[in-house]
Amino acid sequence: LAGHRAVGQLVLVRPEFAHTPVTSRLLGEGAALVPLAGPAALVSAVAPDALRLRRLLDAALDELEAALGGPPEELR
């Protein structure tokens, strides 16, 4: 973990991913985005502490939702 003490993952399932799957890529330092089978994506992240981990995962979620036009209708 290279000195990092916090590890986390975020799974995002959206019907839009069935037609337009995400492209694997790094999300800054310490986080990666990969497509999953079905309409889903996975963000894995490492950080020095839980607060920074939370910020990394929140930023990844914000970026993915912005690319999809916002959160799902039922959550608006």
> For residue range 17-45, what is the model confidence (pLDDT) as tens digits?
999 899 999 998 899 999 998 899 999 99
**Any idea where the domains of the chain sit in the sequence?**
6-69
- Separation CA 54–CA 34 (nearest Å): 18
Length, in residues, of the chain: 76
* 57-71 residue pLDDT tens: 999 999 999 888 888
Phi, psi values for residue 37, rounded to 5°: -60, 140
The pair of three-digit structure tokens given for residue 75, joined into one six-digit string? 């959550």
> 29: which residues sit within 8 A by CB, 6+ positions away?
none
